[in-house]
Amino acid sequence: MKTRRAAFALTLVAAAALTARAATFDLSTATTADIQAAMDSGALTSEKLVQLQLARIAAYDQTGPKLNTIITLNPNALAEARALDAERKAKGPRSPLHGVTLIAKDVFDTKDLPTSGGFWLMKDSRPSRDAFVIDRLRAAGVIVLAKLNQSDWYGVGENGGGTLMGRVISPYNPVKYGGGSSTGTGAAMGAWFATLGLGSDTTGSVINPTTLNSLVGMTATRGLVSRAGMMWSSPRQEAGGPMVRSVVDLAAMLDVIAGFDPADMATMACVGRMPDQPYSSFVDADGLKGARIGVLREMFRQGPGHEAGLALMEKSLAEMKAAGAILVDPAATGLDLVRIQMEADAAPYERAVAIDAYLARLPSDAPIRSVSEMIEKGGAKVKPSILEASRLGPLERDRALAAVYRQQDMLRAALVGLMDRLQLDAVVLPFRTLLPDDIRDPVSGGRWQRYDVRNHLHSSTGLPTLAVPGGFFPDGMPFGVQFLGRPFSEPTLIKVASGYEAATRHRKGPASTPALPGETFAYRAPGDNS
Instruction: Tell me which residue of 135, 87, 83 sits closest to 112, measured CA to CA.
Output: 135
Give the Cβ contact number of residue 446 at 10 Å: 12
Select which of 41, 105, 246, 495 is catalytic: 105
Q: How many Cα atoms sit within 13 Å of 7 on the Cβ side?
A: 6
Beta strands in 247-312 (DSSP E): 292-295
Q: H or E stretch including 14?
A: helix 2-18
Q: H or E stretch including 200?
A: strand 196-201
Instruction: Tell me which residue of 282, 230, 272 sits closest to 104, measured CA to CA.
Output: 230
**Cβ partners under 8 Å of residue 51, min gap 6:** 78
Bridge-based pairing of strands 166-167 and 161-162 is: antiparallel
Distance CA(68)–CA(61), nearest Å, equals 5
Clarify whether 181 is annotated catalytic.
yes
SS3 of 427-493: the string is EEEECCCCCCCECCCCCHHHHHHCHHHCCCHHHHHCCCEEEEEEEECCCCCEEEEEEECCCCCHHHH
**Cβ partners under 8 Å of residue 63, min gap 6:** none
Residue 519, burial from CB neighbour count under 10 angstroms (0-12, 13-18, 19+): middle
Clarify whether 370 is annotated catalytic.
no
DSSP for residue 19: -
Distance CA(89)–CA(498), nearest Å, equals 32
Select which of 170, 181, 233, 459 is catalytic: 181
**Residue 220, SS3 per DSSP:** coil
Select which of 41, 205, 246, 459 is catalytic: 205
Helices 32-41 and 2-18 cross at an angle (nearest 10°) of 80
Residue 440, burial from CB neighbour count under 10 angstroms (0-12, 13-18, 19+): exposed
DSSP for residue 304: T
Distance CA(374)–CA(367), nearest Å, equals 9
Distance CA(177)–CA(401), nearest Å, equals 31
Judge contact between 219 and 241, C-beta under 8 A.
yes
Residues with active-site annotation: 105, 181, 205
